[in-house]
Every structure is written in C-alpha cells, then in structure tokens.
Structure 1
Amino acid sequence: MSLPLSWDEWAGQDATALAGLVRAGQVTPAELAAQAAAGIARLNPTLSGVVEVFEDVVADPLRDGMDPAGAFAGVPYLMKDLGPTLRGRLQEMGSLLMRGNRAAADSFLAGRIRQAGLNVIGRSTTPEFGCCSAAENPAVYVTRNPWDTGFTTNGSSAGTGAMVAAGVLPISHATDGGGSIRIPAGACGNIGLKPSRGVFSIAPGASDLSGLVSTQGCHSRSVRDTAAFVDACRGGAPGEFMPYWQPAEPYSRLIQRDPPRLRIALSHEWGDYRATPHFVAELERAGRLLEGLGHHVDWALPAVDFRAAFAAQTTCYISNFAQTVANLLAQHGLDRPPGGLVEPINVRIWEAGLDTSYTERARMQAAFNATSRAFGEFFEAWDIILTPVTALPTPPIGTTEYLTLSDNPSVLDWFGNLWRNFAYTPLANLAGIPGISLPMAAQENGLPLGIQAQARQANDGLLLQLAAQVERALGGRWNGGRRPGVHVAAA
C-alpha cells in the first residue's frame, strides 16, 4: 500500500501540522487514516495498545459525522475503551464481563471530538474499568511500553500512552480519575494535561460534580496540540449539573506568549510518600531549567493533611468503583460478579464499597473540602507546584501488586500500595485543580519520567503557557530528542 508520508515524516508531524497538510490539499483525511491504521498494524502486535480499528471509518472518515472543517481537519484519533461512548461501537472497558457491549448513543464529548475534526478510527486499551495502574491481564491484553517492552505503560490510559509515544498517531483520548492521563504520559514520554473541573463534559451519564474525581483529556507530543484539543472540545452539555467555564482567550493563542515570572514550588515529600533519590535529582534539574527561564523556584509544600486526603480519596474510589461494577452487573441481570469475568481486586472493591454509608461519604466530602482549601491557600503564595509524576520507577510487566489481578486480600492495603508509587497525581482530582505531565526527565533505566506541574483551579492556561515556554527552550526536543526503541520510524 502506498502511504502519503514516509514514517519519519509521519512521526515528525504533530496533529496541527497534519491538519495543515490536509487544508493545503497535500493529503486527505482518508490517507491519514490509512497511514495511522498501517502504523497500528505495524506495531500493535508488539505493544497491544489498540483493541479495535474501525475499518469502515478508515475507509470513509465522514461515516460517523467527523467534521473536516474542524480544527484537526480529519487527523486520526483513538478513543480509550472507557468513558465517552460511540453509538453502535463496542465499549468493553478492558473487562471480560463487558465483551460484546455496544453503546446505544454517542456521548456529548464524542460529538465534540468529531466536531473538532478528529477522526475516531478505533479503541485504545485500558485496565478493567480503568481501576489500576496498567492494562495487563493476559486473558484480555498486555499493553507494553515502547521504550522497553519489558515494562508497563502505567495506566489507565495505557494504549493511548503507547501509541502516541511510538509515533503511530500524534494525539489520542485519555481519562484521569487519579492520574490516568498524567501517569502513563510520564512513563511513555508524552504530554498529558488533566484539566480543572468544568472543562470537558461527561454528559449525559454524569457531571464533574457528581463524578467528583474523573475527567477527560488527551495525550499529545506538542503543547499546541493539547491546547487546540482543549479549545475545540471543552464546554458543557445542555442541563449540566454545574457551570462549565471558558478562559479569557483561547489557549492556542495564549501559549504563543511566555508566562510572567512565576513562583514555582518544588516538592516530593507528600505525607508518608517520598520519591527515589534519582527522581528528586531530576526534579531539581527541572527546577534549574525553570530558574534559567527567569522563574523563582524553591522548595515548598501545601499544608494538607495528607493522610486524611488519601483516606478520603480511597473511600471515593472504593465507593465509586463499587457502584460502577454494580451498574454493569445490573445491565447483565446479575446480582454479583460472576466467577472469572471480573478481576479479583474489582470484586473486593465491589464487596467493600457497595454499602458505603452517607455518613462515610459526608466525611469524605469534608476531607475533600479541607484539602481543596489547603491547595487554594497555597496557590495564593505560589503559582505552580512541581513534582515527579510518580514516586517510584515504572513497574516491569508482571508486577501484580499494582494490578486488579492482585491476590491482596485487603482493598485498603492494595490502595495504600498504589499511593506509595502514584502519590503526586490523585489530589489534583480531589481538589479539581489542573495538572500536566511534561516529558522533561528520565528514569535510571532509560524510560521517560514525567515532571508534573499543578496550579490553582481554572489556571489550566498557565500550565500550558509554561509548558510551551519549556518546549521552546528545549527546541521542541522533549525526552532529550530521543525516540523509543519500538517506533513507527524504526520498525
């Protein structure tokens, strides 16, 4: 098959540049879709990041209502197999229980994505119900990190992390309930923004207020692509349960200017959790880069009761996921998870959380409020707080302690183990503040290490503005200009 671009040319273009080629008449959306599908065919046997390719949409990009006049002009895109639904398409959520499940309607955000000119050509992998750190169940699939296939991508936006990093496509859907955009972005060397509350709608089934911690987003390889995605896809659906806000100017314009001199705090000591010495050194190196750009950088920490915050976050996850499992069981006419079709920790979460009392949720909400107020007070004195994305190195494939395949008999201990590694991302979900993972650092084993920046609620634009300033300072060479070993241009 003849492809419009060489693989090196393809991997060198971000989504904005590919859209420019379409508008200039040099390529068509169908040609872009065909090249992305060829990239998936080339690398998916190794990485297992894609569940399904929609061959009918590859052949006809207009088939499902994509608007070629949108900002992305037909650039191919994968939808994580969790969250926004696509009418008539499978959504199996990484679960054997959900095999064959088809969506009855498009979600609101799916419509916005298509209106933005993104051509949804398939589904990317996720752990079961998005509830663990990797898409790694051999009975379903095992998604591998393109930098070293002996390691996971982390999760839960696993397939998106792998496919964007490997150059298969420049932008892809991700979701984040506690770090699931930022953590795999960090491990795979992508840009991953978790927005504030009130940016992307999760209509019609829930809202940012009723969902509390979960939000939507993407992975990309350029700041301008992430900015354009937010500009094009943000906004509330009719009848939202809470307000959805708009910035003073589009982010695509804002990021063209450097931010003012910022007060940037560095931190890695979050309550009981600490990063490895190498990760601390990489954080300090990132701080020196930002000092060199004219910002004030020092060590500081919000006055958060971290133990109370993580306990509340755990209550939220257990009760939310228990209801998710219960709702899916009800769809199947079941009153409990059938043996072998739901992973062990998700069964235990269902058992532990199904009868969570209103009193327990009220205590949780009080801790959420106290934590959010503490971050708010902190951001009166500081503009940004910088941390590593994770505290510990990316786990090798087969590390079951972080998976819902774990045989850990205690759900509380299982979550506590998660926090030891993934300490720095979930409180942004709790407080509704934005966080972004930037591929500025490396682990000792050569895998990428994301550096996370967080800001006050609704300061998403400032994070993107700082990210764009760093991108310019690096000459666009994220990950030190390195590419992963498994890559479309190297296959």
Structure 2
Amino acid sequence: MEIHEYAHHDALGLAELIRSGAVSVKEVELAAREALAEADAAVNGLVGPLFDEPLWHADGGPFAGVPFLLKDHGPVAAGVPFTIGSRALKGAVAQRDTELMTRFRMAGLSTLGVTTVPEMAISFATESARYGRTRNPWDLTRGVGGSSGGAAALVASGAVPMAHGGDGAGSLRVPAACCGLVGLKPSRARVSCGPDSGEPGLGMTYEFALTRTVRDAAHLLDAVQGPAPGDKYVAPPPRGPYADEIGRDPGTLRVAVTTTAWSGVPVDPEVAAAAVRTARVLESAGHHVTEASPEVDSGAMTRSLVAGLAHIGSLYLVAPRQPDPAEMEAVSRLVLDLGRAYRLVEMTAAADAMNHVTRSVGRFFTEYDLLVTPVLSRSPAPHGTLDYDNPEHTVTSWVETLFAYAPFTALFNVSGQPAVSLPLGHGADGLPIGVQLVAPYGREDLLFQVAAWLEREMPWRDRRPPVHVGGH
C-alpha cells in the first residue's frame, strides 16, 4: 500500500479496504509505520520509538487492523510505559488496561505507539521540557494545542486516521481547532474512565479520540461508549447506534450562537466570524438561530478548575512513585504544592461552585437545542506563548492564561454536556479555525446529526496542511 493511498482514507475507509481483501493488515501497518516516521520527523508527536509489534487487538470490530496511537497521559495499556510528559516520572509502566483500552482493542484498533503531551497534561501547548515542542503541520512555528497535542499533529499530518485523547478543560477540542480535526468531548460518564478512576478530575476529565471525519467519531463512540461495572455515574443510553445518526434529519432546532467569551477576553474577529457563519448556514437550513449564551460565573469557573488541578496534584502525591519536584516544570510544582495544601473547606466551596455552573448551563439547554461558539480566542499560538515553566505564574494565573487562549471549552467539562470542535473555518493566515457545537446532556446523537450535515455543507476533508504524508 502506497503511503499517499494510506493517508487518503479515514479509519472506516481503511477498515473497509482490509475487510474486502484489497489490502492486508500488514500492508496497512507498514504504510502507517512509514507515515509515522515521516510525520514525526517534522512535527515531533511521538514520545519514543513505535512498538516492535502492534498491541494485541481483536481480529473483528469496526476498525479491525486500523493503525492507532495512545496518549501519554497516564496508565492506559498493560505493559506500556508512561511519563505524562514529565522528566520526573521514570520507569512507570501501566499494570493493566483501562476499560477504554479494552474497548479500543475489541474494536480492532492496532496500537503502534504513544503521543506527546505537556507535563501533567495541563496546558493548551504541547511543549514539554522532556520531549520539546510538538509542531503544527499547518505551520511549524505554531503550537498544536494541548493536552492531546501529539495525537492532533499526527492525525492532521495523515500519519494515522485517529488517535486517543483526553479532555479535562478542552484538551481534545483545542488541538482539534489548532490542527483542523474533529474533536468530540462526550457527555459526562458516556465513556468509562475505570477501573482505576471513578471521577477523574472531579468529574471534569473525559476520554475519547481525535478523528478527521464525523463518521469515524460516531462509529468509534459506538464501539467504546457505555458503563463499566462499578462506574459511579451512568450516562443516558443512546436511542440507537450513533453511526445511524449520520444523515438523519434533526428536525427544526433552536440554535443559540455566541462569540463573547464568558471570561471577558477579546476574541479575534476572524475567529468569531467562523462561528457566526456556521450559525447562518444552520439558519439557511430552517433552524431558528438566536444570539444567546448561558449565564456563567467566571469566578466559579476558575474555582472549579483550580479544584481540578488540586485533585491532579493530590494524585501525584499518593502515587507509588513520588515525582521529584526539582525535575518538574514551574506550574507542575505549583500544582503539587496545591495538592498538599488544599483544604476540605476549599474543596467544598469548589463543589458548590461547580454545582452553580452546572445548574445554570442545564437551564440554558432547556431553552435551546444547540449552542454554537468559537473554540479559541485567536489563531493557533506561536511556540512559547503559553509558558508552562514560567516561575512567575500562580495556579490561578495559569488557569486564567488557559481561559484567555481557549475561553469557550472548559465550561462544558464542568457542566457535562457533549461538545465537538469542527474545522469549519480557515483564516487568512492559512490556519484552521475550529467552531464548537454543544448539545444538551446525553445528546451526542444530535451533535452527530448536525456535525455530519455541516461536514457535507462546509466540507473540510480535502484541506490538507503543508506537512502531510500524502502530499499537500
């Protein structure tokens, strides 16, 4: 299989070629290895060499034999080392599969390696002291977002059709916006985070993947969604396969659109225009579009995210291997200190703030079926813009820095609604612009209906970055 042919297909396309006998699993794997070597040399998206052999996966499943990558954000797959982007974690190896990894295997995904993240996975810039800068295939001087940055860079450059990611404040949607991809954050509890965690990030952390097409996201969610034994929360079951929502008419929707950041930071007019243009396209299809926004207490949002960071810091402090703060970057050291010092009364106040945010957003979605917003406040930032190793930061100032760059994403980590970034805009600088769609809790079906329609009306599949293994 030629590398340009391999890079042309999405995950379902490759799976169909394999099922039909047009290519073998081994041919696809060899093409993927060549593509990954070429792309990684340009974008620096892998934490180390590829596995000698793909991780075990089922021969069946919707993605049987399709190349895949894992995110280096913690123990995911049995026997696979992890560093979470840090020099301080040495020799850590996952002892067992997460529930999600088990489902990736049963879906047939052929895992070949691990992708880069910022240290502790708490930055929107994948630029760690351990692995260096992961570069954007649209412009190598720009960042890829974070924390699922290596995954985004390698999917966007054609090296793999999709890759594992997580989202604690926008860590799937921000890289998707930076790199021109589909980044879905499912509803809270839609995808199990077990068995080692019941409420990751105080319920604000979600796991899924980055894809290039809406249909890949729908079929993958079908393969991995649903509760596992012992899960603390259970999302409402879907009415049927998400794959069946592709092409289904959503009916006439009440659509809200806002380009005003809840934190008050300015939004670049070109970025705002992409969201407004998307809303107008929906209006032209007969949907009722109104300029409206949830009422958001930005102070409560900040307290919620600071509590989430305190929880992350505390997890490091109770880990079997204690990290050496001297080998960590500045904000990581602050987060460790926060984990030590955070008091129960502060956590109680943060829980109250989270409840306040969740109730407000929930009320909003009793009046509207869909919300359209930007993802970022600007084009993908040049390297070094978000300086994680800046000793002048406090934890609060770091959270505010993240909100300034991506002011529209973290709200829905707190409140739990499904949200997706779609590459529906392109700037004068040639860089992609992500537009976020948000649906009521449990309504991924609606997101897939609308996202698939927009993919047909405002297609992006043929747009390729200058760094692409299949040729520009």
With normalisation by structure 1, the TM-score equals 0.92
Letter in 1 for 2:380: T
Aligned to 1:338: 325
Aligned to 1:283: 275
Closer, same or farther in 2 for the Cα pair 1:132/1:9, shift >3 Å? same
The within-5 A match list for 1:358-397 is 358-397=344-383
Closer, same or farther in 2 for the Cα pair 1:321/1:443, shift >3 Å? farther
Aligned to 2:294: 302
Tell me how far 1:416 sits from its aligned partner: 1.2
Q: Distance in 2 between matches of 1:230 and 1:139?
A: 32
Which of these residues, 223, 227, 230, is aligned with residue 218 of structure 2? 227
Q: Is 1:84–1:110's contact at 8 Å kept on the other side of the alignment?
A: no
Aligned to 2:24: 28
Q: Is 1:197–1:208's contact at 8 Å kept on the other side of the alignment?
A: no
Which of these residues, 64, 67, 85, is aligned with residue 73 of structure 1? 64
Which of these residues, 33, 49, 70, is aligned with residue 37 of structure 1? 33
Which of these residues, 36, 44, 67, is aligned with residue 48 of structure 1? 44
Query: What secondary structure sits across from 2:70 in the alignment?
Result: strand
Which of these residues, 341, 344, 357, is aligned with residue 343 of structure 2? 357
Structure 1 runs not aligned, ≥5 long:
59-63
User: Following TM superposition, where does structure 1 have runs of at least 4 consecutive aligned residues deviating by more than 4 angstroms?
Assistant: none
Q: Distance in 1 between matches of 2:107 and 2:358?
A: 32
Instruction: State whether structure 2 residue 300 is matched by structure 1 residue 319.
Output: no
Tell me how far 1:83 sits from its aligned partner: 4.0
Aligned to 2:253: 262
Query: What secondary structure sits across from 1:433 in the alignment?
Result: coil
Aligned to 1:473: 457
Tell me how far 1:7 sits from its aligned partner: 3.0
Letter in 2 for 1:55: F
Closer, same or farther in 2 for the Cα pair 1:350/1:200, shift >3 Å? same
Q: Distance in 2 between matches of 1:271 and 1:372?
A: 16
Q: Distance in 1 between matches of 2:359 and 2:439?
A: 13
Instruction: State whether structure 2 residue 25 is matched by structure 1 residue 19.
Output: no
Q: Distance in 1 between matches of 2:329 and 2:316?
A: 11
**Once the two structures are superposed, what CA deviation does each residue of 1:142-171 show, in whole Å capped at 9, x if it has no partner?**
100000000010100001100111111111
RMSD over aligned CA atoms reads 1.7
Q: Distance in 2 between matches of 1:365 and 1:55?
A: 42
Letter in 2 for 1:129: M
Instruction: State whether structure 2 residue 137 is matched by structure 1 residue 137.
Output: no
Q: Distance in 2 between matches of 1:333 and 1:272?
A: 39
Q: Distance in 1 between matches of 2:305 and 2:175?
A: 20
Instruction: State whether structure 2 residue 466 is matched by structure 1 residue 485.
Output: yes
The within-5 A match list for 1:132-281 is 132-208=123-199, 211-269=202-260, 270-281=262-273
Instruction: State whether structure 2 residue 425 is matched by structure 1 residue 420.
Output: no
Which of these residues, 395, 407, 414, is aligned with residue 411 of structure 1? 395
Letter in 2 for 1:274: P
Q: Distance in 2 between matches of 1:462 and 1:244?
A: 15
Q: Distance in 2 between matches of 1:319 and 1:220?
A: 31
Query: What secondary structure sits across from 1:55 in the alignment?
Result: coil
Tell me how far 1:79 sits from its aligned partner: 0.4
**Once the two structures are superposed, what CA deviation does each residue of 1:43-100 show, in whole Å capped at 9, x if it has no partner?**
2111001123443324xxxxx4301211101101000111451111111111111133
Closer, same or farther in 2 for the Cα pair 1:338/1:209, shift >3 Å? closer
Q: Distance in 1 between matches of 2:318 and 2:248?
A: 46
Letter in 2 for 1:293: A
Query: What secondary structure sits across from 1:151 in the alignment?
Result: strand
Tell me how far 1:318 sits from its aligned partner: 2.7
Structure 2 runs not aligned, ≥5 long:
none
Query: What secondary structure sits across from 1:52 in the alignment?
Result: coil
Q: Distance in 2 between matches of 1:140 and 1:359?
A: 38
Aligned to 1:61: none
Tell me how far 1:434 sits from its aligned partner: 0.7
Closer, same or farther in 2 for the Cα pair 1:138/1:206, shift >3 Å? closer
Instruction: State whether structure 2 residue 2 is matched by structure 1 residue 10.
Output: no
Letter in 2 for 1:379: F
With normalisation by structure 2, the TM-score equals 0.96
Q: Distance in 2 between matches of 1:472 and 1:377?
A: 31
How many residue pairs were aligned? 471
**Once the two structures are superposed, what CA deviation does each residue of 1:10-57 show, in whole Å capped at 9, x if it has no partner?**
222111111011110111222211111110111211100112344332
Q: Distance in 1 between matches of 2:38 and 2:432?
A: 23
Query: What secondary structure sits across from 2:68 in the alignment?
Result: strand
**Once the two structures are superposed, what CA deviation does each residue of 1:190-227 show, in whole Å capped at 9, x if it has no partner?**
00100001111111111247741001011111111000
Q: Distance in 2 between matches of 1:264 and 1:277?
A: 21
Tell me how far 1:406 sits from its aligned partner: 1.8
Closer, same or farther in 2 for the Cα pair 1:231/1:416, shift >3 Å? same
Q: Distance in 1 between matches of 2:104 and 2:426?
A: 32
Q: Is 1:53–1:121's contact at 8 Å kept on the other side of the alignment?
A: no
Percent identity, aligned pairs only, is 35
